C-alpha cells in the first residue's frame, strides 16, 4: 500500500488542522499531492470547528516544485488546471492558513506556499521561481508575487529565476516571520492570536480581508494560464 503524500491530523483540542507534505526529500507537487491537498482544504470549508491550518513538510525541504514530467505537453494543461484550482481553493479557504518553510521552496512549491495567509520561514531557507531557467515562466507566481512583494521585486525574481533567503523573503513581505524554528513560531502565533478566538468570527474576518485579493488573483490566474498554454 502506497503511503499518502500528505499527513493530516488535528491538534489544539481539534481546532488546529495540521497538514504535512509527506514525500521527503523533494515533496514534489504532482497530481497526487495536489489531489490530497485539494481534499484537505475542502474538508476545512466543511468543518466549521477548524480554527486554523498549519501546513508544513516532512524532510529538510518544503518542496523542489511541481512535477517536470507532468509539465510535458501531454499532461501540462490538466496539471496546470489542477494546481491553479488548488491555489484558488486556498485563497478562499475560510480558516487562516499558516505555512512553514525550511530548506528549498521552489517553483510550484512556492506558488502553493504563497497562497497561504501567512508564511513562517527559516532565515536560511531558499525561496525562488526558477521556471525561467527551464524556458517557461511561473503562472501563479506571476499573479501572487507582485501583490505580496511589489512589482519591481516580483519582476526581479520572476525574470532572473534567482532564489532568496528566508530573511529576504520576510523583508519583501512574502513571509511574515523568519525564525530558526518556523514551526514553533507558527504554533506560538496560533496560541497567542488564534487559539482564544471564536472560530465563526475568525472565518468571517478571513473571508472579508481575502475577498478582493482572492477574486483578483483568480481572474489573473485564468488569463495567465491561457498565456502559458
The residues annotated as belonging to the active site are 131
Using CA atoms, how far apart are residues 1 and 29, in angstroms rounded to an integer? 20
Q: Closest by alpha carbon to 83, among 59, 103, 67, 104? A: 67
Residue 226 burial (10 A CB sphere; 0-12, 13-18, 19+): exposed
Q: Could you count the other beta carbons within 10 Å of the beta carbon of residue 77? A: 12
Rounded (10°) angle between helices 76-91 and 199-228:
150
How far is 163 from 106, CA to CA, in rounded Å?
Answer: 8
Contact at 8 Å (CB) between 15 and 1?
no
Burial grade of 149 (CB within 10 A; 0-12, 13-18, 19 or more): buried
Amino acid at each position: 500500500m502506497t503511503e499518502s503524500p500528505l499527513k493530516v491530523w488535528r491538534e489544539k483540542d481539534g481546532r488546529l488542522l495540521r497538514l504535512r507534505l509527506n514525500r521527503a526529500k523533494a515533496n514534489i507537487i504532482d497530481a497526487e499531492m495536489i489531489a490530497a491537498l485539494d481534499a484537505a482544504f475542502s474538508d476545512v470549508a466543511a468543518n466549521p470547528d477548524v480554527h486554523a491550518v498549519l501546513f508544513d513538510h516532512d524532510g529538510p525541504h518544503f518542496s523542489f516544485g511541481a512535477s517536470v514530467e507532468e509539465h510535458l505537453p501531454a499532461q501540462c494543461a490538466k496539471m496546470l488546471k489542477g494546481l491553479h484550482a488548488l491555489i484558488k481553493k486556498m485563497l478562499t479557504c475560510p480558516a487562516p492558513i499558516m505555512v512553514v518553510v525550511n530548506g528549498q521552496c521552489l517553483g510550484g512549491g512556492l506558488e502553493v506556499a504563497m497562497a497561504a495567509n501567512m508564511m513562517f520561514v527559516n532565515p536560511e531557507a531558499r525561496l525562488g521561481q526558477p521556471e525561467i531557467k527551464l524556458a517557461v515562466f511561473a503562472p501563479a507566481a506571476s499573479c501572487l508575487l507582485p501583490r505580496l512583494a511589489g512589482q519591481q521585486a516580483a519582476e526581479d525574481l520572476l525574470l532572473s529565476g534567482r532564489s532568496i533567503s528566508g530573511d529576504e523573503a520576510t523583508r519583501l513581505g512574502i513571509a511574515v516571520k523568519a525564525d530558526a524554528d518556523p514551526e514553533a513560531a507558527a504554533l506560538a502565533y496560533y496560541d497567542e492570536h488564534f487559539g482564544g478566538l471564536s472560530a465563526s468570527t475568525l472565518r468571517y474576518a478571513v473571508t472579508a480581508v481575502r475577498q478582493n485579493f482572492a477574486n483578483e488573483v483568480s481572474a489573473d490566474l485564468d488569463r495567465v494560464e491561457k498565456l502559458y498554454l
